[in-house]
Chain A
Amino acid sequence: MFKDITLGQYFPGNSPIHRLDPRTKLLLMIAYIAAVFLVQDMWLFLAVGAFAVGVTLLARVPASYLWRSLKPLRLILLFMFVLNLLMIQTGDTLFHWGFLRITEGGLRQAFYISFRLILLVGGTSLVTLTTTPIALTDGLERLLSPLAVFRFPAHELAMIMTIALRFIPTLLEEADKIMKAQLSRGADLESGNIFQRAKAMVPILVPLFISSFRRADELAMAMESRCYHGSEGRTRMHVLRFSRRDGLAAAVTLGLIALILLAQA
């Protein structure tokens, strides 16, 4: 029943993009997002798009995977396009019918917002497609760790994320099992109004919660028995190190973004 849900869309590979430090990818992703929001020109959108395509090729991620992450966007995209098209009324009128008026400015904005959304989701998907969830949380923790000075719980946050990622498939499997068990006891999950259906979920949710608590308890015990005591004095098995590759990637990306923004100014 849950077999179609795939979480964490990592595409295993060994490309130069895969091998970049997760911190590099996260920081460059932020720069890329900023660029996508600052660009206000059709040609420059194409330039940013070309950059994203270049990275995709370099990462050797199949287009179908990227397409899959863009697919859920279709409705939002359509909605934003139509909204901008009809609501923004600047420049020459291109089309007029009853109360509908489409202007040149509206058309332009509608296209801009669509490109922005596609580039945004496509670009960030590239990061999650080429970085394992564990590496991603690791990178995030290291990037946020300077905030520890302000008592920001960077390590704890990263640990929570790691544990959540680890247990999502387990929970789905468990939910599937319990659901099957109750189905074979005659549970009817498909008919009735919304209240009846919510009520029918109780026999699945209660055992699921109980087993989650039990699991959390066991995990806490296992971690403590292996002397886990938070971030203090904790060293790492995989130490993140910037390499020349990271410098190159940063230089190329930031250079391109600078060029694009200069061209716009």
Chain B
Amino acid sequence: MAIQLQNVTYIYMEGSVLSQAAVSDIRLEIQEGDFLGMIGHTGSGKSTLVQLMGGLLQPTGGRVLVDGLDLGDKKQRKAARPRVGLVFQYPEYQLFEETVAKDVAYGPHNLGLAPEEVEARVRRAMELVGLPYDRFGEKSPFALSGGEKRRAALAGVIAMEPRYLILDEPMAGLDPMGRKAILETIAGLRQETGCAVVMVSHSMEDVAQYAQRIAVLHQGRLVKAGAPGEIFQEEALLRSLGLELPVPCRLAAALRARGMDVPPVYTEEALAAFLLERGKHV
């Protein structure tokens, strides 16, 4: 069971003078339970790839399979859609209902579930994103703060209980507290339900901390995919693609440059643990 991208290519406005491949010849697999971080410069094709995985764009070349269902086929696409939950950039702009509860219920309702099941899912999803049903259920989504709106929109997708949750820059434009809330929600959801997560992010630190695997995109091509340790070893490559290393990596490098023998680390915790351990021996 997996999302499989088989040599996927996508060209916007095919046949026009402006046409260009936004995504070319990408081969990638997202296994069940995976946490894939997707990084790349603006315009590298991340959002296009996200939409291809959700079956909202049909590949110009190649195939996208979700649990073996071909998204190029209308019937199979319909069957596959509920398995893939897409959270677009600035998802709060899709809120439309009178109350938060009704808005979160929109997706489950469209799945044709029984009212009790819809209600149960709405409660669970709202709880999970930190908007308790009893306090926020009857509020208008437009009366919420920016961060709360974002969480309400996230709940709307989570309530569909997708097997694969795909998020396009879910933390963009939020304050540090809001970012943390979203990240922990995603991690918590994955732990609870075992769903796979694909997260596009510009924050190397977040990707380094949460992702099991990282895919690096550049000009529509998959430059490299691998474990965070592998990816963040390639400093020169990342720099040449306009990407930075996570702050802990850079800090470790700075310490190394001053003669401290720091092992390759890329998360805050790992670096802190090393420094603490070392402090004990000095």
Residue of B nearest to A174 (CB): B93
B211 within 8 A of A: no
**A203-B106, A207-B94 given as contacts; is B111 within 8 A of A183 (CB)?**
no
Contacts of A202 in B (CB 8 A): 96
Residue of A nearest to B142 (CB): A210
A-B contact count (CB 8 A): 57
A184 within 8 A of B: yes
Partner of B84, one of A174, A181, A184, A211: A184
B 43-94 contacts with A by CB, 8 A: 51, 54, 56, 81-82, 84-86, 88, 91, 93-94
B86 touches A184 (CB 8 A): yes
Per-residue interface assignment for chain A, residues 164 to 184, with 1 indicating a CB less than 8 Å from any chain B CB and 0 otherwise: 000000000010011011111
Residue of B nearest to A177 (CB): B88
B274 within 8 A of A: no
Residue of B nearest to A176 (CB): B56
A186 touches B81 (CB 8 A): yes
B88 touches A3 (CB 8 A): no
Contacts of A183 in B (CB 8 A): 56
The CA-CA distance from A204 to B110 in the complex, in Å, is 15
The CA-CA distance from A183 to B86 in the complex, in Å, is 10
Contacts of A185 in B (CB 8 A): 94, 106-107, 110, 156-157, 160
The CA-CA distance from A23 to B123 in the complex, in Å, is 63
The smallest C-beta distance from A205 to any residue of chain B, in angstroms, reads 8
A 201-233 contacts with B by CB, 8 A: 202-204, 206-207, 210-211
A156 within 8 A of B: no
Per-residue interface assignment for chain B, residues 100 to 121, with 1 indicating a CB less than 8 Å from any chain A CB and 0 otherwise: 0000001100110000000000
The CA-CA distance from A188 to B93 in the complex, in Å, is 19
Interface centre among B12, B82, B96 (most CB of A within 10 A): B96
Q: How many residues of B contact A (CB 8 A)?
A: 24
The CA-CA distance from A136 to B88 in the complex, in Å, is 37
**A3-B13, A185-B157, A203-B96 given as contacts; is B106 within 8 A of A180 (CB)?**
no
A94 within 8 A of B: no
A258 within 8 A of B: no
The smallest C-beta distance from B83 to any residue of chain A, in angstroms, reads 11
The CA-CA distance from A10 to B51 in the complex, in Å, is 31
The smallest C-beta distance from B11 to any residue of chain A, in angstroms, reads 11
A78 within 8 A of B: no
Contacts of A73 in B (CB 8 A): none
Contacts of A206 in B (CB 8 A): 96
Q: How many residues of A contact B (CB 8 A)?
A: 20
**A183-B56, A207-B94, A207-B96 given as contacts; is B86 within 8 A of A188 (CB)?**
no
B95 within 8 A of A: yes
The CA-CA distance from A210 to B94 in the complex, in Å, is 10
The smallest C-beta distance from B148 to any residue of chain A, in angstroms, reads 16
B56 touches A184 (CB 8 A): yes
Partner of A211, one of B91, B93, B107, B156: B93
The CA-CA distance from A187 to B110 in the complex, in Å, is 6
The CA-CA distance from A207 to B85 in the complex, in Å, is 20
B13 touches A186 (CB 8 A): no
The smallest C-beta distance from A215 to any residue of chain B, in angstroms, reads 11
B93 touches A186 (CB 8 A): no
Residue of A nearest to B108 (CB): A186
The CA-CA distance from A210 to B93 in the complex, in Å, is 8
The CA-CA distance from A211 to B88 in the complex, in Å, is 16
Jot down 12 A-B pairs with beta carbons below 8 A, ordered by A.
A178-B93, A180-B56, A180-B88, A184-B81, A184-B85, A184-B88, A185-B157, A186-B82, A187-B110, A206-B96, A207-B95, A211-B93
Q: Which 10 A-B pairs have the closest CB atoms?
A: A186-B110, A206-B96, A185-B107, A184-B86, A181-B94, A180-B56, A203-B96, A181-B88, A184-B54, A207-B96
20 other A-B residue contacts (CB within 8 Å) besides A3-B13, A181-B86, A187-B110: A174-B93, A177-B88, A180-B88, A181-B91, A181-B93, A181-B94, A182-B106, A184-B54, A184-B81, A184-B85, A185-B156, A185-B160, A186-B106, A186-B107, A203-B94, A203-B96, A206-B96, A207-B93, A207-B96, A211-B93
